[in-house]
Every structure is written in structure tokens, then in C-alpha cells.
Structure 1
Amino acid sequence: MSEVAVRPAHIVGVVPGSIAEEVGFEPGDRLVSINGDRPRDLIDYRFLCADEVLELEVLGKDNKTYTIEIEKDYDEDLGLEFESALFDGLIQCNNRCPFCFIDQQPPGKRESLYFKDDDYRLSFLYGSYLTLTNLTQREWDRIAQMRLSPLFVSVHATEPEVRSRLLKNPRAAKILENLAWFESQRLQIHAQVVVCPGINDGAHLERTLLDLAQFHKRDTPAVISAAVVPVGLTRFRPMEDELIPVSREKAQEVIAQVQTLQAKFQAQLGSTFAWLADEWFLLAGVDLPSEAHYEDYPQIGNGVGSIQLFLREFDAAAEALPQRISPQKSLTWVVGNAVERAFQPIVQRLNQVEGLDVQMVALASEYWGQTMTVTGLLTGQDLLRSLSHRDVGDAILLPSLMLKHDDTCFLDDMTVEQLEAELNVPIWIVRDVDELVERCAEPAADLVVEPVTEPVTEPAVESAIGLNQQRFEHA
């Protein structure tokens, strides 16, 4: 990988009342250096800004260069928000995994949907998964020097020939050497295994989990946990690939296999260690484990325990529900059909409020060609097709994870505003359980679209916020 020039960091926001506001920073300014060092990314920025005395070189939005001296408390944040977490560009992926979501999309959509990242910095900052096959020695050295841990690693298989087959990259064969390096440096990872029937399942899956468990046995385990997730396929995937969908029978087989290993790990390691994504149980048509099973939810980003955690959080938030609301209100809550059964208790509780009628509409995605779909993969076209001839009541409750971060754009490039106009009904975006409850409990007046307006603190590339294999696996 060739070196990429470090660009000045583009500032898009200044926190009110912060040091940055006090000294006059404005959106559009660009941060060039801190005490003479050019930060490559948000990691460097945070490290360099920890000092008590800072000399900042800034390129103003007027294209003039300024030098700003700041004295502050150690580790006090400046209050700057950046366009991207990476100032020197994205480390792109050179693997050709047949199950990669990026390659399972139709052409012609927004450019950011096709970015293939394999960047350890996004893994450290935001928990996105990387393969470790795209790192230069300089990056390995930086991980060790700056103690960037834990990282999140797509392992898939520990047998060299199997992993190389999956990633279509001979460098993938070095995964056990990579894990030994983390162990020698006393650094940690969370591992992910995407199960592709006929390739890395069965005896290969058992070998992988047993190998990973060997790195969990010290005071600072190199592998903290492992998640086992089913491969997700769409109708747009290349027809020449060798993948087959996970069947109900395969899901039941994998659950039984991993649960046997979980009992062994509990006895040997004192932890379940290897975790099954919720989707396995939904595919198999069996009940989810109890909430107590998930310990401290080490693999929540892979949809391991996300349903039970959502139900627990709802129970807590539901205490704020009134006994009745007036005037009466009818709402439609749209989710993926993967969670239809699990979320029935939520709908039942909401409808105990006198004057409130909540209808859950659980959809599969015709757009992706799936019979079972997690909520985050539903598109505007899916919603328009399913809701256009349905009485949706006063408003639609729309989970924000269907949308591009900090925007109102679905995966098919339709916007919430376009969908609202087509359906001629207000759409309420809900970001979490608390907001779901608030929306249901608040008065029905002034129903309007409210775009997501969270601070820009995450990377601008969508591949870094879940539009990869992870996006398939959790609701």
C-alpha cells in the first residue's frame, strides 16, 4: 500500500461553550498541525491534543494560515468535530470475499456504498471489522506503539487454506501468526466468523473456535470473544460465487454445534467465549437464550444478544408510558420480519396505553431478494411497496438504522422525504428505545419529519458504519 498524503482535517462543527468556540474556530476551517505534527486521523488528534500547551496551525476558510496557541487542562477536549475520522484517506480492502455486502449491491447507487474499507483505525474507533491482510509494517508498528486495542477482526477460519479460499487472498493464510502477534504484544481483539455452508462450517467451524479459544487463556486474552454469524446473501450477488443460503436445518445444526462448545468453554475459560448471533435462532425458528446468557454483551455489534438487550431497555423505558393519551393516536412501526416474533411483547405493551394503537409491520426485503430481513436492510422501495395500499394511521415509526448516518437516505438512495410524499403520511425517525416510547406517548399534533441531526463524529464513509457483513447480521 502506498503512502497517502495527510490532508488538513476539515472542521464541520464546533461544540458550543468549548475551547474551540472561545478561540474562534468556525466550520470550514482546517486543522493542519498540532505542535508541529500533522495528525493522520482522529487517533493522532486525540493523542496530540492531550498536552496542556498546544500550538495549532490552522488554514482558515478564508484560505489564510493562522497560528493559535492554547493552554488548557491535560486531556481537556477542544470541541472540534471533523468531516471524517481519517485525514490521510481510507485503507481499502484488497480481498475478494464472495459474501462481501459491497459486491452484493446493484450498480448506480451513491458512491459511498461501494467503499471497501479494511482500516484498523475505524476498527479501533468504531468497532468495524477488518481482516488484517491490508496492513503494512508501518501500521503494525503503530498499532503496537499506540496500544490500539481492542480491534475487531473478521477471522472466518483459522485453517490457512480455508481462510485464503474465503478471502481470495494468500495473505489471509497468516491469521494464526497475526493472533500470536497480538498475544505477544498483549493487545486484544474481538473475532468474527461468518459461516458459509459447505466452506467453513462443520469441522472447520469447530477447528476455528477451538483455535481462537487457545488465545483466551492468559490474564490479558488476545482473543476476548468470538461471534458466529450466518452468511447474508442478496439477489445481486455474482452468480459465479460458491455460496448457498443458510437453511433452517443448517441453522439448527450450527446452534447445536456451538452450544456444545460453549459448555466446554464455560468449564475451561469461565466464559461462553463463542457467541451465536441472534439471527441463527430466528432462522432456526427456536427461542433465543435468556438475557443472562450474554454476560456483558461482548459481541453486541454483531447482533449477539441485541434483541434481549432491546427488550430489556424497552421494559425500562416503558415505565414512562402514560395510562392513556388524548387525542387517540394510531401509528405503524416498521421492522424487518426477522424480529417480528421477538418484538410482539413490545407492541402488546404499547397497546395497553388507552388511546394508542400501534401496528407493527414486519417486512422482508424484495429489493434484496430475501425471505428474512433484518431491519437495517429494509429500503425505501420495500416500504413504499408494502405500505402504499395500507392504512398506516397518523404516522410511521421508522428505525434510524435503515438510514445513512446523519441523513435521511435509505440503502436504495430513496429519502425519507420522498417516501413521506409518496405515502402522504408523516414519518417519525426513532433512534432508540427511549425515542420509540416518547413518540408513542407524545401528542399527535404537529406530525412532521425530523431528520437525524447527531453530531458528526463518525467517519464519512458508509462502509465504516456497518454497510459490510455486520449490517446483515443484526436488527
Structure 2
Amino acid sequence: MSKTSIRPALITKVIPDSIAAEIGFEPGDTIASINGQQPRDLIDYQYICADEYLEIEVIDTKGKTHHIEIEKDYDEDLGLEFSTALFDGLIQCNNRCPFCFIDQQPPGKRDTLYLKDDDYRLSFLYGSYLTLTNLPQREWERIEQMRLSPLYISVHATEAELRSRLLKNSRAGKILEQIHWFQERRLQIHAQVVVCPGINDGVHLERTLLDLAKFHTGEIPAVASVAVVPVGLTRFRPTEDELIPVTTAKAEEVIDQVQEIQAKLRQTSGNNCIWLADEWFLIGRRELPPTSEYEDYPQIGNGVGSIRQFISQFETYVKDFLGQNICLSTPRKLTWVVGNAVEKAFVAIGQQLNQIEGLEVNMLDYPQIGNGVGSIRQFISQFETYVKDFLGQNICLSTPRKLTWVVGNAVEKAFVAIGQQLNQIEGLEVNMLALSSNYWGQDITVTGLLTGQDLLEGLQGQDLGEGILLPSVMLKQGDNLFLDDMTLEELAGQLQTNIWPVAGVEELILTAVGDR
């Protein structure tokens, strides 16, 4: 990137009681340079600001330039947030992967939904995946110099010809050479393999996983983990994409194949680096692996173990909470909306919520699809841990409540027990409703892909009780906007009910019992 392409960093928030607040920074101000350097991105900004002495060139909202000198402790944060992490623009993708979700969306939505990023900086900062096909030498040098590790890499196949075919990019075939580059410099990657039946499955999948496992050696393994994810398809995908959806039989085949490889790795090296996304078990109608299988959940952001973690957290939290003998003075009836793929998994959670006296939470089941490696298992594990303490408090709601908890149907089976435990709270009734997505044209849907239109279609005419417990993963981060651009307020108005976004186990339980 040239210096002329670097824009001043726009400040959107000043943290109260921070250095920046004390000096008088305001939202709308921009930072042009620090110590004579123009930061390209948040990485540069954080690196430069680690110094004890800063000279900052600031342009205020009226366009006036100020030069500010700051003395602070080494590595002390200034307390500023910016409109973007990239001050010189996004490095966009130059591949044409047939399974790209960006190309499987309907036209006419907000522009940001159609941006194809392949930016190593977003990978380092936020865990987004890139392919390494568009990096000039200077960016490789920066990764090495600044030790930007780990990065998250979409591998899909290690055979050069096959990977080039999948990404439709002649430069894609150098992946093993590139991973070796990371290994030589003691840098790490997390890899993902999106399995497309008939293309990179079978012997090709085995070859890919064994190739990647060879880099999982030493004190700092170049390949820290590998997530195996089923291809996700929507009704908007191009007709010429050559892709076919994953069936129950194919999911069972992949589960058996990968678990055999996992067992061999544990036998030969004593550890494992390969994990299956939760969705394989949902599509294949298999039980989720236990919490111990996921170790420290290295691929939780890719949906590996999130359901198991959620359930474990819930059970831990609710163990104490329900032991408080809570009883709602005013009964509450709520609706919990989920994707129907997880409905069975979440039944127990709904049952436990409904043990609270005065609370009724209904989980809505309406046919939808998703991706995830262990993310469901992680959620379940967190729930189980939380609920053990929570339920032990013998909580009884003074006012009974009936609520609806909405999830994607991909987690329906996994979350059944959570619903059951919630319903153990005296006075609380939580009904879990598991939905699929007509919007995307999917029969099985992960919760995060449910749109406002899906919820409207699935919930209209339902007895939602006092309101809806809505997983915040359905909404744009920091906003109340669904993937189809419907707002939370619009949905609540059309359904004429309350909607409470909840993030994680603790918020789910505390919102259900009216403690937030």
C-alpha cells in the first residue's frame, strides 16, 4: 500500500477515564500520524502507541490540525476506538471459490455484505480466514517482522491442482510451500477445510489432513489446529457451481473417516490437531463429542464445539442459580428462537429453564443450516457448568414468566436438555423454538444465519409469552440489524412482542429470570 492510500484514522469512541478522554479527544477527530508515522491499520497503531512518548497529529471535527505530546507508561492504551481496523483499505479476495458465501446472497442488501476480504490483518486481529493467494512480498516480510501469528488459513486441499481448481486461482497451488514458510519462522496458522462432496472429499480429504498433521510438530507447531467444515449452500448460489449439498450419509462417512484419522494421530503422536465442525454431527444425526474432545477449543470461532461449550456453561451456571429456590412473583412466558438443526441438542436447556417457578420458555421449532466445529458442544459444556451452581440455589420467580427461546434447527437436538433445565426454575417456562431458513432456502440452519424474515414467518401466530430470547449472533455486531437488513425494532413491532438479545449462557439465564 502506498502512503497516499492511507487515510487518517477516524475516532468513533473515547473510553471514559482514559488518557485520550483526559486530553480531550472526541469522536469524529482523526489521527493523521503518530511519532511521524502514518499507521496503516490497527496493528501499526498498537505497535507505535506501545512507546512511552508519543507525538500525535490530530485533525479535529472542524478540520483544524493539532500536535499533541503524550508521556505515558510503556504499552499503556490511549483509550480510542476507530471506525475501521484498516486505515489504508481492505485487501480484497481475488479467488472465485464456488462455495463462497458472499456469492450465495441475494442482491440489494447493504454493501458491506458483498465485500470479499482476503486480508491477513483481519485474520490476525479477528480470526477471519484468508487464502494467501494475493500477498505481495512486502506483506510476507511484514508478517515475519511483526510476528503476526497465528493467522487463519482456508486450505481446503493440499494437492496443488485441486486447490487451484477449488479457488479458481493458479496461485493457489503453493499452499504446502507457504505453510513451510511459517514453520521455518516459528509462526503458526489455524487451518480450515471446507469439504465439497465429489471434489475434495474421500482420498483427497485424507491427503489434506495428513499433510497438515505433518506440520503439527515441535514446541511451536506451524499448524496449530485444523477445522473440517461441510460446505454450506443457499438457494441464491450460482447454478453452474458444481456443488452438491452434504447428505446424512455423506456426513456419517466424513465423521467416520476423520475420527479414524484422529485416533491414529493420538496413537502415533499423543495428540490431535483435527476437529470436525458441529454441523457434521447434526447433519449425520450423531451425538456430539464430549467436552474433553475439544481441549481448549482452538477452532471455536469456526463453529467447532460451540454447542457443547454452551451446554456446559449453562449447566455450570444454572447449578448454583436454580439452587436459590427462585420463584417469579409474576409468571413469565417467553419464546426462545433457534435454528431447527440444534433444536434437539437444546431441549434439556429449555427444560432446566422451565424448572424456575413462574417461568415458561418455549423453544420454537421451524425448519434451517449451519457451520461449526465443536461450537455447539462448547456452549452445552458452558451451560452444564453454569447450571449446576445456579439450580442449586433453589430459585423461585416471584412473578411467573413464560418466554420463547429461538435457535436455528441445527442445534435443536443438542439444546433440548438446556430447555429442560431452564424449566426447572419454579415460575419459569421457556419454550425453545427451532427454525430453519426459507430466506436462504435451507432445511437445516445454524442460529447465526436466521434472518428477520425467517423469524417473522416462523413466529407469527405463535404464543410467544412475555417475549423472545434472541441469540445476538443473529444480529450485526454492534447493531440491531439482521442479515436481510430487517431491524430488531421492525421485527418486534410486527410480532408485537418484546425481544431480548442474549449473548452467551449467563445473559440467557439472567434475562430469562428477569435479572437484567
Calculate the TM-score normalised by the size of structure 1: 0.92
Tell me if structure 2 keeps the 8 A contact 1:123–1:130: yes
- Paired position in structure 1 for 2:502: 430
Summarize deviations over 1:245-303 as a string: whole Å, max 9, x none.
00000000000000010011112332221110111000000101111111111111111
User: In 2, Cα distance between the equivalents of 1:190 and 1:442?
Assistant: 40
- Paired position in structure 2 for 1:172: 172
1:243 pairs with 2:243 = yes
SS of the residue 2:135 aligns to: coil
SS of the residue 1:420 aligns to: helix
- Paired position in structure 1 for 2:147: 147
Deviation for aligned residue 1:320: 2.4
- Paired position in structure 1 for 2:122: 122
**Matched letter for residue 426 of structure 1:** N
Deviation for aligned residue 1:217: 1.6
1:109 pairs with 2:109 = yes
Segment drifting more, 305-314 vs 18-27: 305-314
- What does residue range 253-332 of structure 1 map to in structure 2 within 5 Å? 253-318=253-318, 319-321=320-322, 322=326, 323-332=395-404
User: In 1, Cα distance between the equivalents of 2:452 and 2:269?
Assistant: 45
Deviation for aligned residue 1:192: 0.2
User: In 2, Cα distance between the equivalents of 1:113 and 1:260?
Assistant: 38
- Paired position in structure 2 for 1:373: 445
User: In 2, Cα distance between the equivalents of 1:128 and 1:420?
Assistant: 31
User: In 1, Cα distance between the equivalents of 2:447 and 2:2?
Assistant: 38
Summarize deviations over 1:118-158 as a string: whole Å, max 9, x none.
00000000000000011111111100000000000000000
Deviation for aligned residue 1:14: 0.5
- Paired position in structure 2 for 1:137: 137
Deviation for aligned residue 1:242: 0.3
User: In 2, Cα distance between the equivalents of 1:192 and 1:443?
Assistant: 39
- Paired position in structure 1 for 2:161: 161
Summarize deviations over 1:169-204 as a string: whole Å, max 9, x none.
001011111111111111100000000000000000
User: In 2, Cα distance between the equivalents of 1:320 and 1:175?
Assistant: 50
Provide structure 1 residue ranges, at least 5 long, that are not aligned to the other structure: 445-475
- Paired position in structure 2 for 1:395: 467
1:189 pairs with 2:261 = no
**Matched letter for residue 116 of structure 2:** K
User: In 1, Cα distance between the equivalents of 2:264 and 2:58?
Assistant: 57
1:442 pairs with 2:510 = no
**Alignment CA distance shift 1:147-1:241 (3 Å):** same
Deviation for aligned residue 1:431: 1.4
Deviation for aligned residue 1:4: 6.6
User: In 1, Cα distance between the equivalents of 2:149 and 2:255?
Assistant: 30
Deviation for aligned residue 1:218: 2.0
Tell me if structure 2 keeps the 8 A contact 1:326–1:443: no
Which among 408, 411, 414 is matched to residue 339 of structure 1? 411
**Matched letter for residue 123 of structure 2:** S
**Alignment CA distance shift 1:105-1:330 (3 Å):** same
Segment drifting more, 31-40 vs 310-319: 310-319
**Matched letter for residue 47 of structure 1:** Y
SS of the residue 1:404 aligns to: coil
- Paired position in structure 2 for 1:206: 206
SS of the residue 1:439 aligns to: helix
Deviation for aligned residue 1:360: 0.3
Summarize deviations over 1:427-466 as a string: whole Å, max 9, x none.
111111111011011169xxxxxxxxxxxxxxxxxxxxxx
Deviation for aligned residue 1:55: 0.4
**Matched letter for residue 330 of structure 1:** K
SS of the residue 2:84 aligns to: coil
Tell me if structure 2 keeps the 8 A contact 1:399–1:429: yes
Seq. identity, %: 67
User: In 1, Cα distance between the equivalents of 2:200 and 2:142?
Assistant: 32
Structure number with the higher strand fraction is 2
**Matched letter for residue 272 of structure 2:** T
SS of the residue 1:193 aligns to: strand
SS of the residue 2:44 aligns to: helix
Tell me if structure 2 keeps the 8 A contact 1:325–1:443: no
- Paired position in structure 2 for 1:462: none
**Matched letter for residue 130 of structure 1:** L
Summarize deviations over 1:11-67 as a string: whole Å, max 9, x none.
000010000001110000001111000100110001000000100000111100000
**Matched letter for residue 209 of structure 2:** L
Summarize deviations over 1:358-391 as a string: whole Å, max 9, x none.
0000001011111100000000000000111111
SS of the residue 2:171 aligns to: helix
SS of the residue 1:224 aligns to: strand
Count of residues paired in the alignment? 444
1:412 pairs with 2:484 = yes
Segment drifting more, 214-223 vs 121-130: 214-223
Tell me if structure 2 keeps the 8 A contact 1:102–1:115: yes
Tell me if structure 2 keeps the 8 A contact 1:216–1:269: no
User: In 2, Cα distance between the equivalents of 1:379 and 1:130?
Assistant: 26
Provide structure 2 residue ranges, at least 5 long, that are not aligned to the other structure: 327-394
User: In 2, Cα distance between the equivalents of 1:209 and 1:433?
Assistant: 33
> Alpha carbon RMSD of aligned pairs, Å?
1.2
**Alignment CA distance shift 1:84-1:443 (3 Å):** closer
Calculate the TM-score normalised by the size of structure 2: 0.85
User: In 1, Cα distance between the equivalents of 2:438 and 2:485?
Assistant: 16
User: In 2, Cα distance between the equivalents of 1:4 and 1:340?
Assistant: 51
- Paired position in structure 2 for 1:45: 45
Deviation for aligned residue 1:3: 7.7
